Amino acid sequence: MIEHPDSRIRVLVAESFELVRLGLRSLFENHANINLVAETHKIQDLFNLAEQHKPDIILMDLLLSGNDYVEHVAQLLRTCPQSKILAFSNYNNEQTHLRTFRSGVAGVIRKSHSTDLLIKAIIAIHKGHLWFDRNITKLLWQAQFDSDPAAEIKPQTDASTSQQPRLSDSERHVAHLACKGLSAKEIGAQLSVTEKTVRNQLSSIYRKTGVKKQIELCLKAPLYDYFKESCLIGTFIPKDS
């Protein structure tokens, strides 16, 4: 039985090293759920290929962009808003990863990880989840406080009620599910409300907690008592990494 290409996840690879591209090509060509639509080692070609093929996932080597990866991610998302970017990283620096996920990528995976984990990341992102492994998540979460020398991580038992954002019961339910990595559509289905309602509540939650994105909410969640059971256990954070 021949798999119809349209039913597979369409991936565009932008990778600096030929040997890595060869390995990825072999991996994807032999995978039933992934269709490698194009590959390149030049940042200049990446935008043309992305616009031409409109892939589901762009696996983008951060080294390809030098220090301009934030600008290039933003440009890619403007060119192909339907595509999701999975950053392929050699770095283990919290500031680099903070800048990367804030630029709009759907996830970061390090090149030292296994091919099985890479496939899981691609599939999870295609389903609408975010993907940050536990090591990167720890760095990102710690960096939230390192950026402010006066900030101090206090034990949960010392947190006063006044320090907790005042969320309504419905907002708490939405926040709880968001911290598990569910998309707005999935949250709406679980709570029997519309996706628009969920997005409106998420906007309110982000404003009250001082974050801009879902992953930032998950990283900040350990500070709040009522998120304690849900934080950092979402499907976008692989438990076997």
**Spatial separation of the C-alpha atoms in residues 202 and 67, rounded to whole Å:** 32
pLDDT the model gives residue 137: 62
- AA identity, residue 155: P
pLDDT in tens, 8-34: 999 999 999 999 999 999 999 989 999
State yes or no: pLDDT of 146 exceeds 60: no
State yes or no: pLDDT of 35 exceeds 90: yes
**Spatial separation of the C-alpha atoms in residues 8 and 31, rounded to whole Å:** 9
Contact 77, 104 (CB under 8 A): yes
Length of the chain: 241
Six token digits for residue 144: 């939230």
Percent above pLDDT 70 for the chain? 72
pLDDT bin (cut points 50, 70, 90) of residue 218 is confident
Six token digits for residue 217: 């909410």
pLDDT the model gives residue 238: 40
Six token digits for residue 206: 């982000």
CA of 2: how far to CAs of 7, 30, 37, 40, 62, in Å? 11, 13, 17, 27, 35
pLDDT the model gives residue 210: 84
- Which pTM does this prediction carry? 0.65
Which range has highest mean pLDDT (3-7, 145-149, 230-234)? 3-7
E strands present in the chain: 9-14, 34-40, 57-61, 84-89, 107-110, 131-132
pLDDT in tens, 42-88: 998 999 999 999 999 999 998 887 778 888 998 999 989 999 999 98
More confident residue, 151 or 63: 63
CA of 118: how far to CAs of 87, 115, 124, 133, 141, in Å? 11, 5, 10, 11, 22
DSSP string across 128-139: T--EE-HHHHHH
pLDDT bin (cut points 50, 70, 90) of residue 150 is very low
